[in-house]
Amino acid sequence: MKKIGCGVALAILIVIIGAIIWGVGVYNNLVTLDEKVMQQWSQVENQYQRRADLIPNLVETVKGVAKFEKETYTAVTEARAKVNQIKLTPELLSDPQAFQKFQAAQDGLSSALSRLLVTVERYPELKANENFLQLQAQLEGTENRIAVERRKFNQVVQEYNTTIRRFPANFIANLTGFREKQYFKSVEGSEKPPKVQF
């Protein structure tokens, strides 16, 4: 009888140790995925910072040639200021309203930059300015990099969100405070094709 009791106790102990090892493995995987999300987020931030750093030079170059288009470059400056007011924290990725506010500010800046570049079309001397052309090329490259990094970010977030929602890992995720991260979404209305008029 003692041997059976010891065997049952040993089996229970092995199951408990196995469950602990499994739980630690799941937790460590969640930490790894969370770090991947944060690392990819920093790549997105790097590209946004690059764009923010280019904007003052672009605005100053345009100001020098297009003196009476003040409202356009004022809009760019104000949009840049709005973006810089938002504090980027890891909590931002888990808060849908804060993330939406951040994305709206970035989209506003993109829109203002687009208007600035459209305004430039009216100034042949600006389009021929070497400084402007270099800045424009850098800005276009940065916008492409932002799109690439946002796509990569969404892929990593999808992997993380899928893992924390899957059974049985969702038990460990809920117990240890892992929460769903937010995706970048397209600008509202972008599903409609733009009107082209000549």
Task: Quickly list DSSP for 81-95.
Answer: HHHHHS---GGGGG-
In a domain, 191, yes or no: no
CATH code: domain of residue 158? 1.20.1440.20
Max CA pair span of the chain: 98
In a domain, 19, yes or no: yes
pLDDT reported for residue 60: 73
pLDDT reported for residue 189: 54
Q: How far is 8 from 148, CA to CA, in rounded Å?
A: 56
Q: How far is 179 from 176, CA to CA, in rounded Å?
A: 9
In a domain, 104, yes or no: yes
In a domain, 45, yes or no: yes
Domain span including residue 158: 2-176
In a domain, 167, yes or no: yes
pLDDT reported for residue 70: 63
In a domain, 155, yes or no: yes
In a domain, 138, yes or no: yes
pTM reported for the whole predicted model: 0.67
Per-block average pLDDT, block size 10, for the chain (198 residues)? 76 89 89 89 83 76 61 72 73 78 81 74 66 77 86 91 90 89 70 46
Q: How many domains is the chain partitioned into structurally?
A: 1
Q: How far is 87 from 96, CA to CA, in rounded Å?
A: 15
In a domain, 164, yes or no: yes
CB atoms within 10 A of CB 46: 13
